Structure 1
């Protein structure tokens, strides 16, 4: 059997193959963040036939102050659950499993979008975009931890198969992880273990609320690829702590470099990160980044660079990519 078609089974998750669709912002929701007919049609088309074992729904804001863009999907209040149920049901009906990614933009937000003050771990401008943030107090941090917890409860109520915490691409939790934007001198800043205290608080709060059987994924921007930024050595320390705290799957991407590596167009260009992180943890690791060829996915899995392969832009451009890939390997 091919590596890509091999099922993956853990005590909480059973996937028919190793092919997943990573979260990709579509700007197809309503302006208030509610599920639209456009977004239902989009995920219906992508999941048709169930060839993709797991579809991760695009980053969804946990609170108005954490909204990243105008037509971003929301998970910020209980009134959204019924619309999100329609989304999970469509994907399940097509034969795929699905989880939702929950996020706060932090200093990548803009007052013009949120109508609120921009916040972050420190009063340091985001290297990518956004207004100068106000440094959060410890009490405000605890409130955002609670917002992540409440969002995860909604994800479960909406019928999804798990939840993914977003800590990549220069967003809020990535800002705490990266030394570029976390200059705090209290318990939330300093060495790696202090910079991930908020992550661990969120993981534990979610686990307590959703129960032991609901999978928790975490997407980690495992390197900023910038001078003074986060490194793979930081991420190896963090990954071990995340596993201990209750994360079931680690989804690896870039930090402030976001989801691309300038000048690197290789298939699976984040594989040096996943390969290193896999050496220190036992939970499954997802690799995404530039993978457009079926044989490349096979090779990356066979070389133990990852346990699951995320194919994003190729599936975004061609909804039949997964069908053709699976059929070519059968």
Structure 2
């Protein structure tokens, strides 16, 4: 094959693309970013407008985050959890996104040890009992019955998404949420059939993916957001994550994997490269927590240098080991980066912070490829999840 043929084989990021049973208008996805707009754990007009703006701005699909599958699986009590009462609002949201020509996905999952037990009024569940650094309460070790219930809850949540007119669901298997916590040898200290070996630790993730596929079949696309590594010593690392990804591919439950990294429980900034907004995070808390965060928050909210496509080096290893479609996430703000992802075999790219700054960035890049994002990676948008997620500079 000559060089011209090779160039022709590289997909255009702005051409329509298949994702399972879907055809997206292009290969860009608005990544899940908790919106802080779900008062009463229900869809609000603000949430609908948030996703409508991203759809109008040109993305192929926008992802609603975060849709908990059970009430104790929320990171705080105002997050959506997938139940009948949420259905009318979810339908209105799907209709608004579709009216702008985009598809819509629901990120479904269970926060596990990342859940705020104090806010939810329910114990946070983890593979093993421990003190949560987030709520300072003890998490409860999930029983076999809890695992069975939560697995079924993922399937039920996916069915509700189908009923609401959503085009896809994204199963949250990252950031040390429930399934990700089971994968992590640092967090999962169990001695039963769900702990120890990687095969045992992967049972929850594999079971959830299979249950969702069995429930919805090919009616919607099924993605999973999977940690490539936890970013903490003793946590899940690339070698084990690659094996889990291969098992998920073999099981046939997924249409694509979105590759992520970091631990909301132990090292959140490992995913959000750039400045560490310790002062802004501290300001969202009352005293004495505010003072504590100001004094020692830098040990938890660490700073990592930003660069374009900062997860690409790790993601390449997954691209080489898998045949299923992959979504590249992390520092994608320019047309050249999108083209590079396509050239290296990634089928989709996902953006988050840059779209908070400019919801119409995709549309503008399509019209003028030299367009540069205005996002400066200050990460001051992150603390706004406690109110209404937004770019503080916009």
Tell me which interval the TM-score lies in, with the shorter structure as reference length.
Answer: over 0.9
Q: What is the total number of aligned residue pairs between the two structures?
A: 326
- Name stretches of at least 5 consecutive residues in structure 1 with no aligned partner: none
Distance 2:314 2:76 in 1: 29
**1:281–1:115: structure 2 CA closer, same or farther, 3 Å change rule?**
same
Distance 1:289 1:303, change over 3 A: same
Mapped to 1, the partners of 2:132 and 2:248 lie a distance apart of: 25
SS in 2 for 1:59: strand
- Contact 1:254–1:260 under 8 Å retained in 2: no
2:350 to 310, 314, 319: 310
Contact 1:19 1:54 in 2 (8 A): yes
Paired position in structure 2 for 1:269? 310
**Once the two structures are superposed, what CA deviation does each residue of 1:2-53 show, in whole Å capped at 9, x if it has no partner?**
73223322552322222110000110111x211111111111111115x211
| 1:56-89 Cα deviation digits (max 9, x unpaired) | 11111111111112432221x1121111010011
Q: Within 2, Cα distance between the matches of 1:189 and 1:86?
A: 42
Do residues 228 (structure 1) and 244 (structure 2) align? no
- Aligned-residue Cα RMSD (Å) equals 1.9
Q: Secondary structure at the match of 1:5?
A: coil
Deviation (angstroms), 1:290: 1.8
| Partner of residue 252 from structure 1, selected from 259, 273, 291 | 259
Match of 2:15 in 1: 6
Using the TM superposition, give the Cα deviation of residue 104 of structure 1 relative to its aligned residue in structure 2, in angstroms.
1.1
SS, match of residue 305 in structure 2: coil
Q: Find the partner of 2:30 among 16, 21, 30.
A: 21
Return 5+ residue gaps in structure 2 as ranges. 1-7, 274-302, 371-394
- Corresponding residue of 2:93: 87
Measure the CA separation in 2 of the matches of 1:88 and 1:181: 36
Residues 36 and 213 (structure 1), Cα distance of their counterparts in 2 relative to 1, 3 Å cut: closer
Q: Distance in 1 between matches of 2:165 and 2:136?
A: 33
Separation in structure 2 between the aligned mates of residue 299 and residue 72 of structure 1, nearest angstrom: 36
Q: Is the 8 A contact 1:220 1:255 kept in 2?
A: no
Structure with higher Rg: it is 2
Query: Distance in 2 between the 1:127 and 1:190 partners?
Result: 23
Q: Secondary structure at the match of 1:279?
A: helix
Please say if residues 218 and 247 of structure 1, whose CA atoms lie closer than 8 Å, have aligned partners that are also in contact.
yes
Shift of 1:127: 5.9
Matched, 1:73 2:80: yes
Q: Contact 2:180–2:227 (CA<8 Å) still a contact in 1?
A: yes
SS in structure 2 of the partner of residue 117 of structure 1: coil
2:368 corresponding residue in structure 1: 328
Q: What is the CA deviation profile of residues 94-130 of structure 1, one whole-angstrom value per residue up to 9, with x for unaligned ones?
A: 0001110012111111222111112111113456665
1:163·1:216 contact (CA, 8 Å) conserved in 2? Answer: yes
> What is the CA–CA distance in structure 2 between the aligned matches of 1:166 and 1:202, rounded to whole Å?
10
